[in-house]
Structure 1
């Protein structure tokens, strides 16, 4: 009797937004730096984001004050930073090179595709809808959809749950160390997008790409075969206040 071998599950693809769909980290950093200047803070925003990128802005802001700041005040600072960022980035919004062809190829191949970001709905719309990218995503998970942001796994596990897929059948695309750790905490594998960090700063991604130029779903499946299981999260890398990246 001929026994049929089950077909491999086509992985679900989960994309972070900032630094993955768009190369906007320098503008995010500049907005934070302008806010810090107004607040009389000397924190280096670029170095700060290299450590804490992926977290909601209010959580990032908590780390720069030596005294407790009320949540209401943090939200006001975050709104000010968001206004500065949108002003700086308004005419610069472009999809990451190669992103749209990759999304179209992945959609044609039958992959489920999700967006998993720590941004609120209005910030997601500022990027995703302006660039007409929402049509590629089966679900969109943002800050308001989860209890805990990155490096916690919620962003990615909620995306998988909404799509009805297993975490082990998901691949995350992330540009931040905290995002990579969130993927591993969720039991997912990760492709590192090097828009702001060097390859050595990541733990053990499936691949390290500067952008999506020439990257294909077929190549992704080849890489997947080489890493059958998600790496275990590295607790030291997820210690937000202690990371010192070169």
Structure 2
């Protein structure tokens, strides 16, 4: 009997490794205020979190904005976010212990985020988390960000693990859709959404004290089918940005 390849755990970063979504939203809100926009950033991120910041910004202006300008706005937002979050950087409760246990249990571990390298470093190197990841993939490593499959597909390819052996930890609807498009299953992290707001996760956790690597393996063994991406979500205009 041919042995199965190992399972792989693939983690989003924002809202999963760290509970930083409120600070991301505050940074967007300050930027919106600067430009006279009344969009509610918290509500916006409930729908669009996981997208590159330039794509999120593209949805809030009623007039076309040149890509160069959007990148400048995204840089402003990033600066605001870092200032707001500088002294607040903490890993999600139970994360290091979970990652250590997962490594000991034989899981491959990857990070798949829409953030650029300097933002990834701002989180994972400050918190000394890079040591736990076999692969780190960010914005510069893929052609299309979430909700497209690329982010997670590239992680799986680099890990050498087929998608059906991967599970993604995600806090965002678009990240969950990206997982299903990549033919992977998903575990939700309810840092920004209520459990019932996810489409079809194997399970929803508040943080990593709620689950063990052994329980993840059981969930994967017992639920081999990958959900199809939601047609309703796929129809929404922002899914095609």
TM-score normalised by structure 1 residue count: 0.94
Q: Does 1:102 align with 2:98?
A: yes
In structure 1, the gaps of 5 or more residues are none
The 3-state SS of whatever aligns with 2:111 is strand
Q: Is 1:111 aligned with 2:107?
A: yes
Following superposition of structure 1 onto structure 2, how do residues 72-221 of structure 1 map, counting pairs within 5 Å? 72-221=68-217
- Summarize deviations over 1:196-234 as a string: whole Å, max 9, x none: 101111111011001111411101111112211211111
Deviation at 1:86, TM superposition (A): 0.3
Count of equivalent residues: 239
Q: Is the 8 A contact 1:54 1:118 kept in 2?
A: yes
Residues 174 and 193, structure 1, Cα contact 8 Å, conserved in 2 = yes
Change (3 A) 1:123 1:138: same
1:238, distance to aligned residue in structure 2 (A): 3.6
Residue deviations 1:64-122 (CA, integer Å, cap 9, x gap): 01111000000000000000000000000000001110000001111110000000000
The aligned counterpart of 1:22 is 18
Distance 2:72 2:205 in 1: 36
CA RMSD, aligned part only? Answer: 1.3
Flag structure 2 segments of 5+ consecutive residues without an equivalent: none
Partners of 2:167 and 2:80 lie apart in 1 by 33
Residues 121 and 239 (structure 1), Cα distance of their counterparts in 2 relative to 1, 3 Å cut: farther
Task: Quote how far apart the aligned CAs of 1:235 are.
Answer: 2.4
Q: Distance in 1 between the 2:24 and 2:119 partners?
A: 12
Displaced runs of 4 or more, over 3 A: 5-9, 238-243
Contact kept, 8 Å, 1:98 with 1:215, in 2: the verdict is no
With the length of structure 2 as denominator, give the TM-score of the two structures: 0.96
